[in-house]
Amino acid sequence: MVFGAGGGTNSYQEIEETDVILLWGSNARETHPIFFHHLLKGVRNGARLYAIDPRRTSSVQWADVWAGLDVGTDIALANGVAREIIAAGLENKEFIHNATTGFDEYRRSVEPYTLDYVERETGVPAHVIRDMAHMYARAHRAMICWTLGITEHHNAVDNVLALINLALLTGHVGKYGSGLNPLRGQNNVQGGGDMGALPDRLTGFQHVENAAFREKFEKHWSAKIPAQKGWHLSQMFEAMERGELRALYVIGENPLQSEADQNHARHRLESLDFLVAQDMFLTKTAELADVVLPASAGWCETEGTVTNSERRVQRVRKALDAPPGARDDIAILFDVARRMGHDFGQPVAENIWSEVRALSPAHAGMSYARLEASKGLQWPCYDENHPGELYLHSRLWERPVRGPRVSFMPVEHDPPVEKLSAEFPLRLTTGRRLDEYNTGVQTSAYPSPLRRGETLDLSPEDAERLGVTDGELVRVLSRRGSVTVPVRRDHSLRPGLTFMTLHFPDDVATNLLTIDATDPKSGTAEFKAAAVRVEKV
Amino acid sequence: MSTSDPIWFTPPPRPSRPPAPPEQPEATQVDIRIDGQPARVPGTMTILEACRSRGIDTPTLCYLENLTPVNVCRVCVVELAGARTLAPACSRKVEAGMDIQTNSDRVKLARKMVLEFLGSSVDLSTAPQAQSYIKRYEARPERYGSDVETVDQPVKIDNDLYVRDYSKCILCYKCVEACGTDAQNTFAIAVAARGFDARISTENDVPLPESACVYCGNCIGVCPTGALMFKSEYEMRQAGTWDETRQTKTDTICPYCGVGCTLTLHTQDNRIVKVTSPLDVDVTHGHLCIKGRFGFEFVQNREENSGSDG
């Protein structure tokens, strides 16, 4: 959006050698444990770790400083950090002058975010904000890493822009050990986007509304491509509501249980004329489907590639034969195409990858042979002799800067859609645990000794006020629904903040409570901020 | 396309050269002798690395590339001209003029004694590497007799993922290091007591579910003797169905979060029986989390189990 391609700008090894780390809205200790190994090496090498999170998580326990902001006040905090950096004259004037545009407007936009105002709005003490601003700006190298604490909000994209602005302000991007790194939540969410599984992009981040890109693909495919971008997930669900989207083909997702506001999601899926589910399991979504296509397990029963959070394309390989009847996703898709009158040839993963290389310049240098020999390559990798880029945007440090300058994108604080009220006085936020994953489709099958089922995690103070204790069943109500769930007191939570996961939807459907207020730019729902009330049962 | 297009319509130009890490000062080369042969190696190398770079197979038990050397097993010792004691090759750095003997009588005797002491007190039946060293150095643990003191004790089975059989523990410390600062930083285990009573223990010797353990299994990944073992492997061995000659190893990528850890799937009869990760992969350095190491069951028994929760 700002830089032209979406991917973590650094490699994992760089966090071992950076000086300041802002871990923002991420409990990486539990959600990205092996990345956290790299981060801990950085901490042990002397990096100062700031953890910005409403909860005092197991990641925060490793931090030098915990900025325990209120849910949904990230932009206020980021703009406050920016204002303090500018007020102290610590912005990187050389980088701003040579590599960016729009600084004056940005400076004016953050001017109202004084330390006093931001302390009031976020709950983070002014001296913590000041310290974070000064240390981040003064660092030789500094990295910002974030996860769903930034993106599962109604203003997800603005949250990300607020962080990008900080990097532009200080020049902490485009250098070894300095950059912006979204940690991806699923093993190929990076690769899916890279391959064009986005409403506005063709493979390799090539915009579908760009005629030259479109013509290249049309020529290769001998087919016309719609010239306008399509709908993202939330827009698709809204289109179902309006009756404009009548048929849905779901591959490897369980939206009935993973979408916010589950009753609403069920109503919309049930209103479809035709629903196809292609999955390893008969998920709850598949149970609603008109046609179910049993698929094999991509990561161990098929050949192919996935791309990780450091843009590394790596091979997945077939280790097991799929059970009878389950087929490789690409074989199913090729057969569907054939029934529609198109012959895609043999469903061989390497052939598809060759097409990717032919159409996406960022992947052109990654032959299967190189991927095998190198244990993976990072995009962009332009030709067979290119090593792949260790970190992105180094062009911004060439003088004169190579290519267009990048623009500050001023953003304003906009609190969660659902305000707390006398009727719904508690903030419910959601997240993952170390041993579980999403709606539990995969993890429920292994006997984790850490598993303890769904709970409503409450601060000890709130538990006392409500007169409830560990294990006691309570009813949690939001404006959209209610669930009954045992209480667990959690010292990592401050009064007013409660926490649940989405891991056990058959026992406790947390998404009956969550709000489907979505970010108009990305379509992400505000899983992180609902307003709830807790009642004894 | 005009240059005024928004940046996301037109990809920005490539940098004039691919970004690279900052240059490291080149290590000074030092001249040494290994088994009488002159060698020139970087001064940052350990003796073990220098030996391996010359194709000399120096035995190690407590050393692993992804862990800090702890110098406890003494099986890698070499003789240095002019030194009173033998030196551990795994941690001692090379120095200019060093004259290293890797296979002198004194070295061979020391290695043989270490292996005999270990072999007489510890069950090495699932430690093929230690067994091969015993053969190589003609160690005879049995010469100490059958009533020699051992570390024999019942197998600890206190969770569904892995078992701890400390009758097979040679106290190499690798599990403690992997649980500690070298990888996991969880500190669930440490060495308790001293001398012959020394043993790997959780805090206050509580069962694993009551300890700080988060079941990453990185201790299993580094254990050289099979003292720490997947419960599935333990049960197959008990049932006599564990057969490595029928196993295949396939490298793939973990199906969970976006870090992209390489998993080596050990399969037998179309089932995953164990998961490891290669030491030389930069993403993992051989280490995994609970989901990557143990979370594979969902692909097994799919005919019977159609996915319990959707």
Chain segment B31-81, per-residue pLDDT in tens: 999 999 999 999 999 999 999 999 999 999 999 999 999 999 999 999 999
Residue A51: strand, helix, or coil:
strand
Question: What distance in Å separates the CA atoms of residue A142 and residue A20, rounded to the nearest whole number?
Answer: 5
Q: How far apart are the first and last CA of chain B?
A: 48
Q: Quick check: B12 and A40 CB within 8 A?
A: no
Judge whether B275 is closer than 8 Å to chain A, CB to CB: no
Q: Domain range spanning residue A482? A: 426-536
CATH assignment of the domain containing A442: 2.40.40.20
CATH number at residue B197: 2.20.25.90
* Token pair of B77 as six digits: 């010792």
Domains in chain A, number: 3
Query: Residues 6 or more apart from A191 whose CB is under 8 A from it?
Result: A305, A306, A307, A313
Percent of chain A with pLDDT over 90: 91
| Mean pLDDT of all residues in A218-226 | 95
- Altogether, the residues listed in chain B come to a count of 310
**Amino acid occupying residue A231:** W
For residue A363, is pLDDT > 70?
A: yes
Question: Which CATH number goes with the domain that contains A163?
Answer: 3.40.228.10
Best to test chain B binding among A61, A201, A300 (most B CBs inside 10 Å): A300
Asked if pLDDT for residue A2 goes beyond 70, the answer is: no
A532 found inside a domain: yes
* Residue where the block lists tokens 């932009």: A75
**What is the rounded average pLDDT for all residues in chain B?**
93
Output the pLDDT for position A516: 85
Average pLDDT over residues A157-170: 97
Chain B: closest CA distance from residue A406 (Å): 8
DSSP helix/strand/coil, A43: helix
Looking at A453-537, which runs of residues are DSSP E strands? 456-458, 473-477, 482-489, 497-501, 530-536
Same domain, A193 and A177: no
**Do A324 and B303 count as a contact with CB atoms less than 8 A apart?**
yes
DSSP SS3 for B289: coil
B12 cis-preceded (ω within 30 degrees of 0): no
Give the pLDDT of residue A5: 64
Question: Are A199 and A339 in a shared domain?
Answer: yes
Same domain membership, residue A139 and residue A104: yes
Spacing of C-alpha A129 from chain mean position? 25
Residue B303's pLDDT is 58
Using the CB atoms, write b or e for B19-55: b if 16+ within 10 Å. Answer: beeeeeeeeeebebebeeeebebeeebbbbbbbeeee
B306: pLDDT confidence band, cut at 50, 70 and 90? very low
Under the banding of pLDDT at 50, 70 and 90, the label for residue B309 is: very low
Residue B173 and residue B288 share a domain: yes
Q: Which domain-ending residue is among B80, B107, B134? A: B107
Co-location of B190 and B289 in the same domain? yes
Q: What is the pTM of this model?
A: 0.95
Same-domain status, B221 and B286: yes
Closest CA to A298 of A331, A276, A346, A324: A331
Let me know whether B253 and B276 are in one domain: yes
Asked, for residue B92, whether it belongs to a domain, the answer is: yes
Provide the residue range defining the domain that includes B135.
108-144
Q: Is the Cα dihedral B85, B89, B90, B95 positive or negative?
A: positive
Closest chain A CA to residue B178 = A37
Give me the phi and psi of A445, to 5 degrees please. -85, -15
B301: left (phi over 0), alpha (psi -120 to 50) or beta: left
Q: Are strands A482-489 and A456-458 parallel, antiparallel or unpaired?
A: parallel
In a domain, A412, yes or no: no
Q: What does the alpha-carbon distance between residue A107 and residue A484 come to, in Å, rounded to a whole number?
A: 48
Residue/partner pairs of A365-369 with CB below 8 Å, 24 or more apart: A366/A313, A368/A315
Q: What is the distance between the alpha carbons of residues A532 and A427, in angstroms, rounded to a whole number?
A: 6
Contact A489, A534 (CB under 8 A): no
A298 and A170 in a common domain:
no
What is the total count of domains within chain B?
3
Contact assignment for B19 to A176 by CB distance below 8 Å: yes
User: How many angstroms separate the CA atoms of B255 and A446, rounded?
Assistant: 14
Average of per-residue pLDDT values in chain A: 95
Last residue of a domain, one of A159, A182, A205: A182
The predicted pLDDT at position B5 comes to: 53
Structure-block tokens of residue A125: 């003490």
Based on the fold, state whether residues A116 and A152 are members of the same structural domain. yes
Please tell me if residue A307 touches chain B, with a CB cutoff of 8 Å: yes
Neighbour count for residue A127 (Cβ, 10 Å): 10
E strand or H helix at A100: strand A100-101
Say what percent of chain B tops pLDDT 70.
95
The reply to whether A51 falls in a domain is yes
Of A370, A342, A343, A344, residue with least CA distance to A355: A344
* Nearest CB neighbour to B291, from listed A300, A402, A443: A443
CATH number assigned to the domain comprising residue A262:
3.40.50.740
**pLDDT per residue as tens digits for the range B153-195:** 999 999 999 999 999 999 999 999 999 999 999 999 999 999 9
* Residue A149 sits in the same domain as residue A230: no
Do A526 and A517 touch, CB atoms closer than 8 A? yes
Is B46 domain-assigned? Answer: yes
Residues B269 and B254 in one domain: yes
CB contact under 8 A, B161 and A448: yes
Question: pLDDT for A4-44, tens place per residue?
Answer: 667 899 999 999 999 999 999 999 999 999 999 999 999 99
Would you say residue B13 lies in a domain?
Answer: no
Q: List, in order, residues 6 or more apart from B72 with CB less than 8 Å away.
A: B62, B171, B172, B173
Q: Same domain for B97 and B121?
A: no
Of A62, A301, A437, the CB nearest to B256: A437
CA distance B247 to chain A (A): 11
Which band of pLDDT confidence, cut at 50, 70 and 90, is reported for residue B310? very low
Q: What is the ipTM of this complex?
A: 0.95
Residues 136..165 of B with a Cβ closer than 8 Å to A: which? Answer: 159-161
Cβ–Cβ gap B259/A391 under 8 Å: no
3-state secondary structure B55-121: CCCCCCCCCCCCCCCCCCCCCCEEEECCCCCCEECCCCECCCCCEEECCCHHHHHHHHHHHHHHHHH
Please compute the mean of the pLDDT values over residues B145-153 and round it to a whole number. 91
Handedness of CA B121, B126, B128, B129 (dihedral sign): negative
Q: Do B252 and A441 touch (CB under 8 A)?
A: no
Residue B2 has pLDDT above 70, yes or no: no
Number of A to B CB contacts under 8 A, please give it: 262
Cα separations in angstroms, A132 against A28, A84, B176: 20, 10, 35
Whether A161 and A201 map to the same domain: the answer is: no
Q: Are residues B36 and B74 in the same domain?
A: yes
| B248 contacts A319? CB cut-off 8 A | yes
Q: A242 vs A234, A519, B192, CA distance in Å? A: 13, 19, 67
Give the mean pLDDT of A220-226.
94
pLDDT one-digit tens code per residue, A134-144: 999 999 999 99
Could you tell me if residue B11 is inside a domain? no
Q: What is the pLDDT of residue A520?
A: 85
Asked if A400 is an interface residue toward chain B (Cβ–Cβ < 8 A), one would say no
Name the residue with higher pLDDT: B308 or B203.
B203
pLDDT in tens, A36-54: 999 999 999 999 999 999 9
> By the CB < 8 Å criterion, does B24 face chain A?
no
Indicate if B166 and B289 belong to the same structural domain. Answer: yes
- The closest CB to that of B255, out of A187, A390, A435, belongs to A187
> Can you tell me the mean pLDDT for A223-246?
94
- Do A237 and A177 fall within a single domain? no
| pLDDT for position A50 | 98
Judge contact between A24 and A156, C-beta under 8 A.
Answer: no
B92 and B120 together in one domain: no
Asked whether residue A375 carries a pLDDT value surpassing 80, the answer given is yes
Final residue of a structural domain among A152, A182, A212: A182
pLDDT tens-digit readout, A431-468: 999 999 988 888 999 999 999 999 999 999 999 999 99
Residue B2 lies in a domain: no
B214 and B281: one domain? yes
What does residue A380 show for φ and ψ, rounded to 5 degrees?
-75, 145
Q: Do A435 and B256 touch (CB under 8 A)?
A: no
Does residue B8 have a pLDDT over 80? Answer: no
User: Are the C-beta atoms of residues A154 and A519 closer than 8 Å to each other?
Assistant: yes
Which of A185, A386, A390 lies closest to B21 in CB terms? A390
CA–CA distance, B190 with A369 (Å, rounded to integer):
44
Q: Which H/E stretch holds residue B165?
A: none
What pLDDT score does B7 carry? Answer: 59
In a domain, A2, yes or no: no
Whether residue A443 and residue B9 make contact (CB cut-off 8 A), yes or no, is no
Is B19 within the bounds of a domain?
no
Among A43-47, A260-264, B179-183, B246-250, the range scoring the smallest mean pLDDT is A260-264
Question: How far is A182 from chain B, CA to nearest CA, in Å?
Answer: 10
Domain co-membership, A126 together with A268 = no
Q: Please indicate, yes or no, whether residues A325 and A371 belong to a single structural domain of this protein.
A: yes
Q: A335 and A361, same structural domain? A: yes
The reply to whether residue A32 touches residue B259, judged by beta carbons under 8 angstroms, is yes
Assign A523 a pLDDT band (cuts: 50, 70, 90).
confident
The 10s digit of each residue's pLDDT in A109-129 is: 999 999 999 999 999 999 999
* Cβ atoms A325, A339 nearer than 8 A: no
> A321: which chain B residues are within 8 Å (Cβ-Cβ)?
270
Same domain assignment for residues B223 and B238: yes
Q: Where does a domain end: A131, A166, A182?
A: A182
**Which of B3, B8, B211 should one mutate to test binding to chain A, selecting the residue with the greatest count of A CBs within 10 A?**
B8
> Does one domain contain both A147 and A273?
no
pLDDT at A150: 93
Give burial (CB, 10 Å; 0-12/13-18/19+) of B306. Answer: middle
A134 within 8 A of A15, measured Cβ to Cβ: no
CA dihedral in degrees (A82, A83, A89, A95; nearest 10)?
40
Q: Which of A139-148, A262-271, B231-240, B261-270 has the lowest mean pLDDT?
A: A262-271
User: Angle between the A126-138 and A74-87 helix axes, to the nearest 10 degrees?
Assistant: 60
Does one domain contain both B288 and B221? yes
pLDDT at A427 over 80: yes
